[in-house]
Structure 1
Amino acid sequence: MLNLLASRELGVDSPACVFHAETALLAHSLDLSKYHDFQKIHRGGINSLDLDPVDNRYLLSGGGEGIIGLHDLHNTTGVPQCTFPTICTVGLSNRYRHKFSVETVKWYPLDTGMFISSGTDKHLKVWDTNSLTTADEYEFSGVVYSHDVSSIATKHCLIAVGYLGNSVRLLDLRCGSSIHTLKGHRSSVLSVQWSTRNEYLLATGSQDSKAMLWDIRRANSSLMMLDQHNGDASANPNSVNTAHDGHVNGLCFTPDGLHLVTFGTDERLRLWCTATGRNMFVNYGRINNKCRKSITLAMSHDSKPEIVYVPSDNNIGVYGLFSGTKLGTLRGHFSQVNCCVRDANTQHLYSAGNDRNILLWLPQTDTVRAYEAHLTGDSNKAHVTRFTQRIAATADAWSSDDD
């Protein structure tokens, strides 16, 4: 880092190099926070989390008992140690609530005044955050496994829904109705995800072992079907035109939208080029995946190299996106981890699972270590000294930018 700062000062490297290096350092150093906790509201496993994209302050959680919680992540105590409160709950007494498990919760991308939930009661509900009442509701013929709303769309306001059927439904929030059905899968659609680059591009994963990319402007068929063998005629004929040899229950686009990560019950993680649909053949090794429902992966933002966080049984695996190298394992849950979301601004990671716990994973910066030393009475001031040196170096960098 000091070499990068020196190169930046001399004009050899751009400010972006220092930024990406520091972000990667934070992303590599995640560890379970010992001084943060969440108010307990869930009586069953937590299936889904979503962080609001406007302020990165409010965290939604959806539980197996039908409860939805809204947690405030703003720390008002003045010290790092705190318990994040639940500011409102769609509880069992709410007459609009889901009758059974909530499988997915999503914020409306442009406004925290609305969020969307779906679950095993075959309903998708659009909620008014202020009144905790449903502004709209849709009923399906089977269990709703996953839904997603595009965070970059400017020309449509569509919700993509994967459910217990062999098609994907597109719901238009503007007119309050289903406008289109995407047909191509042969079994239930477990996971759906909008592209982070193209507002018309949608990825889907199904129990039929297939992952597809769709251009929703095309009415006849999918844009491409991902093939794990890249069309190799000598491959096993039983797995041709399949992305995995098991259910595809995890999807995640990279922040730039150029690549897609898929996760399957064949215990394989695969990386695809979204422009060509080709398998990049990155070997991540075997990753335990016994879950039969949708799993939420997380991706690092602005770090070089890029990192993907993958729920695997009771842990979260940390992998280099393009190298496939396992960089570490985040341990802290006592049961199956179902979801993890990342704050792009602070590099914090939030995870939840069947143990009913929401955990916070923090970068181990010198500030955190100095606070731990203070709490434990450690007389070693090295962490504080390093923190002071880093602040001074950053101040010098800012001064050079201002000159």
Structure 2
Amino acid sequence: MKNLLDSFTSVLLTLAVMTCNCTSLVLGDEGSPIVCNDEGLVFSVSVSPNGQHVVTGDSTGRISFRSLDSAAVQCSHNLHHGRVNSIAFSPDGDFLATTGEDGKVVIFDVVEKEIRTIINADKSQGFARFSPDGKSVATATDLYFTYGDIKLWNVSTGELIHRFERRTVAHDAIFVDDGKKLLATFSDSLEYFDASTGKRIRRVKVISPHPASYFPEEIFGLRLSPDGKKLAVLLLESAAIVDFSDLSVKCHLQGHKDHLTGACFTPDSIYLVTGALDGAVKLWHTGKGRCVSSVRLHKKGIIAMCLSPDGKHLITSDESAKVFFSRTDIIFDM
């Protein structure tokens, strides 16, 4: 009898964590975006390195696995109390790192569909970035007017490895030089840190084309091109394309009418796709510094976006809780 009760309890716990939500789908004409009406605002979206998994994170603390072809929700898991701020796949695609406004960093097993590690980072975390070997993850608070120290955590144990201290908000960071260094954004500068010691190596000033604004920080994101030769430095309403070898600014991409909320390099590293609160997505030629295609995809502001590894699918979410699955060859007429 006890074994039967234990089994029943185990089933109930599993059902409490995993629910298959049937969100509303609007199927357009052939080639037009598939529109999902989600139950909560989707603040984060990521596609696995092999393109088999699309995962979205919403305002209720839930992540949902979706089909890339049909956009249908396959299963959902409640990982956070409150908004899911970011989702990142490990390099091998076997694990997810999610951050939330509850101050938790959750390492989730994609294969077994279960939580592996819960890290208590104390304050709301804005991003998570896996190291190239997948053994550690870097996070930082997304709260303004707080110390912006980046923390490096052990994925398996949840233990703090290093703290990269700084007295301003860190909006983003990426591992470079085969994981030996961490490149982070602070205010109007880029800073290198030694990943093994946590010590700052170098600080580089990036000049924004915009005058000072009411935002405390101007640089909020970094994207490294697949070939490792370019950086896209995301500013308020524009992006700067930077030569990664010497961190010199090559061109500014200006044209959005509201704040940028996402950017992705295409697989060939030639183009950058950007989305903003003006509801538009734009395709930029990073060598020529010009917009080659632009479409008002959403009526409301875009708040998250991701490009599939093959560059054929663009997933975007907006302020009306809609998630669009679009084919890039159709929306950009490529």
Q: What is the CA distance between 1:204 and its match in structure 2?
A: 2.0
Q: 2:54 aligns with which of 50, 59, 64?
A: 59
Q: What is the CA distance between 1:180 and its match in structure 2?
A: 0.6
What TM-score do the two structures reach when normalised by structure 1? 0.66
- Give the paired residue count: 297
| Residue pair 2:140, 2:170 contacting (<8 A) in 1 also | yes
Q: What is the CA distance between 1:172 and its match in structure 2?
A: 1.6
Letter in 2 for 1:46: V
Where does 1:131-146 land on structure 2 (aligned, <5 Å)?
132-146=113-127
- CA 1:269–1:363 in 2, change beyond 3 Å: closer, same or farther? closer
- Work out the CA distance in 2 between the residues paired with 1:245 and 1:257: 29
| Residue pair 1:315, 1:329 contacting (<8 A) in 2 also | yes
Residue of structure 2 equivalent to 1:321: 286
Q: What is the CA distance between 1:328 and its match in structure 2?
A: 1.5
Q: What is the CA distance between 1:61 and its match in structure 2?
A: 0.4
- Work out the CA distance in 2 between the residues paired with 1:345 and 1:290: 27
Give the match's secondary structure for 1:355.
coil
Q: 2:189 aligns with which of 210, 229, 246?
A: 210
Letter in 1 for 2:271: I
Instruction: Please state if 1:102 is matched with 2:68.
Output: no
- Work out the CA distance in 2 between the residues paired with 1:327 and 1:361: 18
Q: What is the CA distance between 1:143 and its match in structure 2?
A: 1.3
Where does 1:298-309 land on structure 2 (aligned, <5 Å)?
298-302=264-268, 306-309=270-273
Q: Which has the higher helix share?
A: 1
Give the match's secondary structure for 1:100.
coil
- CA 1:123–1:175 in 2, change beyond 3 Å: closer, same or farther? closer
Instruction: Please state if 1:129 is matched with 2:110.
Output: yes
Larger Rg: 1
Give the match's secondary structure for 2:102.
coil
Where does 1:76-87 land on structure 2 (aligned, <5 Å)?
83-87=70-74
Residue of structure 2 equivalent to 1:268: 238
Q: What is the CA distance between 1:132 and its match in structure 2?
A: 4.3
Residue of structure 1 equivalent to 2:298: 333
Moved over 6 A (4+): none
Letter in 2 for 1:59: V
Q: What is the CA distance between 1:140 and its match in structure 2?
A: 2.1
Q: What is the CA distance between 1:34 and its match in structure 2?
A: 4.5
Give the match's secondary structure for 1:84.
coil
Where does 1:180-191 land on structure 2 (aligned, <5 Å)?
180-184=162-166, 186-191=167-172
- Work out the CA distance in 2 between the residues paired with 1:363 and 1:270: 23
CA RMSD of aligned residues (A): 3.1
- CA 1:178–1:275 in 2, change beyond 3 Å: closer, same or farther? same
Q: 1:345 aligns with which of 310, 314, 322?
A: 310
Structure 2 gap segments, 5+ residues each: 1-28
Residue of structure 1 equivalent to 2:40: 44
Q: What is the CA distance between 1:289 and its match in structure 2?
A: 4.2
Q: What is the CA distance between 1:251 and its match in structure 2?
A: 1.3
Q: Which has the higher strand share?
A: 2
Instruction: Please state if 1:283 is matched with 2:252.
Output: yes
